[in-house]
Amino acid sequence: MSVHPCEYRYYTHEMKKVFTEENKLQRWLDVEAALARAHARLGRIPSEAAEEISRKASVKYVKLERVKEIEKKIDHDVMAMVRALSEVCEGDAGKYVHLGATSYDIVDTAWALMLKDATRIIEKRLRELKDVLLGLAMEHKETVCVGRTHGQHALPFTYGMKFAIWASEVNRHLERLRECARRVIVGKMSGAVGTMAGFGREGFDVQRLVMEELGIGEVEIANQIVPRDNYAELIFLNALIAATLNRIAKEIRDLQRTEIGEVSEPFGAKQVGSSTMSHKRNPHRSERVCGISRVIMSHVFPALENAALLEHERDLTNSSAERIILPESFILLDYILSEIVQILKGLEFNYENIARNLNLTGGLMMSENVMLNLVKKGLGRQEAHEILRELSLKCAREKIPFKKAILEHETLRSLVTEEELEEWLNPKNYIGTAVEQVERLVNRLRSQETP
């Protein structure tokens, strides 16, 4: 019976498969097989033994149930796997299984294989998200909306810029992931405290050959485990990506508020918003992204403690935490990445409300543009700012349009015509280089992907 929502609710099959018990066992076996082949290439064990170990290093022969049965007796999961593999090998091949290695030569190298698969999936999701955002940026590069600072109407903005800014952030995550993977996706074959003593003078060769076989990098230097600052960096990057998804989802939620109503996440024809309030159209998918992101971000703390608090050449405190945070971090991150992509693909725009909100303050949001144009007319910048500040307060107090207040002001009415003021107060005339910024960003990021 499933307990964790990662098992039955918040997952994609592709990522979940990476962290199943069966796949972890297979990755352990893959490392054992590579180790046996490395020994054989160096003449340390018979080639026939390496071939037999490699042939039987499969969950087809080494059953998870058998490994668990042995583990119950000996209370050591890696050694249970070693015994299970040894007992299915024919001839005397079994006696060469795990030769010279320690448990975490197998575990950490297998983690590298699983993390390689997991990061590739995350990279694929990030690329899809970036592509969706770039498409939305171009589609809405001229969709003028209210720009908000401190939760208040500020200046005209464009939805294209909003999406482009997010796309740029996602692109930085892709760059970080590529850089991080180079350090994190590494294995080791160096023995109980890292001296390679179990492999004699051929330790460097054994480690090199194993990692070449498996297609991953070699750790630069290690004690019994790969340094956990590597894993902490990866967990932190996952948290950083989750923070971006949180930000995007929170913005969608805010813009879907009844009082704003500019965009909304997709809502199915048969979808129910509330068990009692039939009119509700809740942004529940965006809320789910925000909620799950909090869990992913919380993984940073145990990952940092794993890096900082291991005793001497190692203890076991990292192991239990990593069995939880590594699968959970990747499965949940992959899930909310998939969710946000689908939300954005189906995002709905209410152009009437976008236009309504642009004019909600009666022109007050255009005060900067009016001020700058008054300076061109000869008024001092500070004087223009103060006059418009006072007029803004008057407009709010007396509930009158900004245009009316300006045209009735004794100083300003002599400086500006009604026609000029109409131009100054039009939000679409004050978006600066917004369109060009979007086009530049989109062209740059898309050109990076050109073969």
SS3 per residue for 14-64: HHHHHCCHHHHHHHHHHHHHHHHHHHHHCCCCCHHHHHHHHHHCCCCCCCH
What does the alpha-carbon distance between residue 14 and residue 97 come to, in Å, rounded to a whole number?
Answer: 31
Residues 427/366, Cβ–Cβ less than 8 Å: yes
Give the Cα-Cα-Cα angle 99, 71, 17 (nearest 5 degrees). 85
Q: Establish whether 274 is a catalytic residue.
A: yes
Residue 59 phi, psi (nearest 5): -65, -10
What does the alpha-carbon distance between residue 373 and residue 367 come to, in Å, rounded to a whole number?
Answer: 10
Q: Which entry of 4, 47, 76, 274 is annotated as an active-site residue?
A: 274
Burial class (CB in 10 A: 0-12, 13-18, 19+), 201: exposed
- Nearest-10 Cα torsion for 160, 161, 162, 166: 110
Strand partners for 186: 217
276 backbone φψ class: left, alpha, beta (φ>0; ψ -120 to 50): alpha
Alpha helices in 198-299 (DSSP H): 203-214, 228-255, 284-298
DSSP per position, 426-450? -GGG--TTHHHHHHHHHHHHHHHT-
Alpha helices in 89-201 (DSSP H): 103-139, 159-184
CB contact set of 436 (below 8 Å; sequence gap of 6+): none
Residues 246/254, Cβ–Cβ less than 8 Å: no
Q: Establish whether 329 is a catalytic residue.
A: no
Nearest alpha carbon to residue 148 among 308, 407, 354 = 354
Q: Which two tokens stand for residue 406?
A: 């300006």
What does the alpha-carbon distance between residue 325 and residue 331 come to, in Å, rounded to a whole number?
Answer: 10
Q: Which entry of 13, 150, 279, 312 is annotated as an active-site residue?
A: 150
Q: Which residues are catalytic?
A: 150, 274
